Amino acid sequence: MGPYGRHLPAYRRVMNPARVTAAIAVLVATVLPGPRADAAPPAHYVALGDSYTSAPLVPPVAPGSPPQCGRSASNYPHVLAGALRVALTDVSCGGATVGHFSKAQYNDLPPQFDALSADTTLVSVGIGGNDNNLFASVVAGCGPATLLLLTGSLAPCRDTFGDKFAKGIAADEVNLRAALREIHRRAAHARVLVVGYPNILPTDAFGRAGCVLAGVPFTPGDMAYVDAIERALNAMLARAAKAEHAVFVDTYTPSVGHDMCRLPGTRWIEPLLPLSPAAQFHPNAAGEAATAADLHRALGHA
C-alpha cells in the first residue's frame, strides 16, 4: 500500500501507454454510458484515497502526479471523470490513511483535504485499509502463520489474532466519521461517495483450494478469516457513510468471482506475482474500470 514510484519506469518501458489508454477507453465506452440528458453531472470532482484509488503500476501514469503516490491515469477517478465529462482533482496516494486527509503524507505533498473547496460538487473517499496498518498487518501476520499448520490448526492466523483486526476497524470509525464531517464543511454542496474495497480472496471452497494450489500463503480457513476482516472494514465504511450523510458504494459484491486467484482476464485484483500491470494485491485496470462503473451507478446513471 506504500509508495510504488520506483517501479513505474520499468512498466513504462514494457507497456505502450497509448495502446493501454485506447483499451481502457473501449472498456469505459462499453461499461459506462455517458451522462443522461436529464442529469446534471457534477462540475468539479475531487478524489481522496489510498492506493486502491491511486492504482499504482496501472499504466499510464497520471501526468504531473507525485511518483511516490503511484497515481494512474486509468484509476477509477480518471475513468469516472471521463465518463461524466467533469473536471477532476485526484489527490489519492499509496499508503494514505485517514490522518493524511488533514496532514501531509510527505514533506512536499499537501494534505488531501486541501483539494476541497466550496466549488467541489463530487467527492469520492477510498480509505481505511492502511489505518493501523490493517492490510499490511494481515498480509505480514497471516502469510507466515500457515507454518503453524504443523500444530494441526486449519486457520492459524485466525487462532493467533482472533478479533484483534475487527476491534481495530471498529475503533477507526470515529476517525472516518470526523473526516466525512470535515469534507461536508469544506465542500458543503458536494455529493460524497465512500468507496468500499473489492473482493480480494475467493468466497467459495473451490476458489480457495485453487488459491492454495497457486501458492497463495493462506490456508482455506484463513482465507475465510481474511475475507471476514475485509467485510468488517466495508461494513464500518458503510456505517460511517450512513451516519454522516454520505453514500456508500459497495464494490465488494459486484467483484465476487473476480478475486486475485482467478485467471488473467477474469480477475480484477493481481496476486503476489502480477501478470497484468498493477501492484500485488491491488486492482488492475479492469478492476479500476469496474469500480468506476459502481460509482457511476451510485450517482444514478443506468
Query: Which pLDDT band holds residue 212 (cuts at 50, 70, 90)?
Result: confident
Element (H or E) spanning 191, and its range? strand 191-195
Domain map of the chain by residue range?
5-298
Q: Which residue among the candidates 44, 51, 92, 258 is catalytic per the annotation? A: 51
Q: Which pLDDT score is estimated for 148?
A: 61
The stretch 108-132 carries a mean pLDDT of 96
Among this protein's residues, is 51 annotated catalytic?
yes
Segment 25-37 shows an average pLDDT of: 49
User: Any idea what the Cα angle at residue 284 is, between residues 73 and 63, rounded to 5°?
Assistant: 15
DSSP 122-134: EEEEE--SSGGGH
Percent above pLDDT 90 for the chain: 71
pLDDT-derived band of residue 300, with 50, 70 and 90 as boundaries?
A: very high
How far is residue 289 from each of residues 158, 201, 216, 269, measured CA to CA in Å? 33, 19, 25, 12
- Higher-confidence position of 55 and 212: 55
Question: Is residue 138 within 8 Å of 200, Cβ to Cβ?
Answer: no
Q: What is the DSSP track for 83-148?
A: HHT-EEEE---TT--GGGGTS-SBTTB--GGGG--TT--EEEEE--SSGGGHHHHHHHHHSGGGGG
**Does position 215 have pLDDT exceeding 90, yes or no?**
no
Spatial contact of 52 and 270, defined as CB atoms under 8 Å apart: no
Residues 6+ apart with CB under 8 A from 78: 62, 72, 88, 90
| Average of per-residue pLDDT values in the chain | 87
pLDDT tens for residues 145-178?
555 665 667 888 898 899 999 999 999 999 999 9
How far apart, in Å, are the Cα atoms of 153 and each of 148, 205, 209? 7, 17, 16
Regarding predicted confidence, which is higher, 56 or 21? 56
Q: Which CATH superfamily hosts domain 5-298?
A: SGNH hydrolase (3.40.50.1110)
For the whole model, what pTM was predicted?
A: 0.85
What is the DSSP secondary structure assignment for residue 262, as one 8-state letter?
Answer: S
CA-CA distance, 156 to 293, in Å (whole number)? Answer: 37
pLDDT value at residue 15: 45
Model pLDDT, residue 140: 79
- Range with lowest mean pLDDT among 148-157, 187-196, 217-226: 148-157
Task: Summarize pLDDT for 245-294 with one digit per residue, the tens.
Answer: 999 999 999 999 999 999 999 999 999 899 999 999 999 999 999 999 99
More confident of the two residues 277 and 137: 277
- What pLDDT, on a 0 to 100 scale, did the predictor assign at position 207? 93
Q: Is 102 a catalytic residue?
A: no
- Choosing from 78, 100, 258, 282, the catalytic residue is 282
Terminal C-alpha separation, the chain? 32
Helix residue spans in the chain (DSSP H): 8-14, 17-31, 51-54, 76-84, 134-142, 156-161, 164-186, 205-213, 220-243, 252-255, 285-298
CA distance 38 to 140: 49
228: amino acid identity, one letter: A
In this predicted structure, the answer to whether residue 3 has a pLDDT above a threshold of 50 is no
pLDDT at residue 24 greater than cutoff 70: no
Tell me how far apart the alpha carbons of residues 166 and 86 are, in angstroms, rounded to a whole number: 38
pLDDT at position 68, please?
A: 96
C-beta separation of 292 from 301 below 8 A: no
Angle between helix axes 285-298 and 17-31 (nearest 10 degrees) is 30
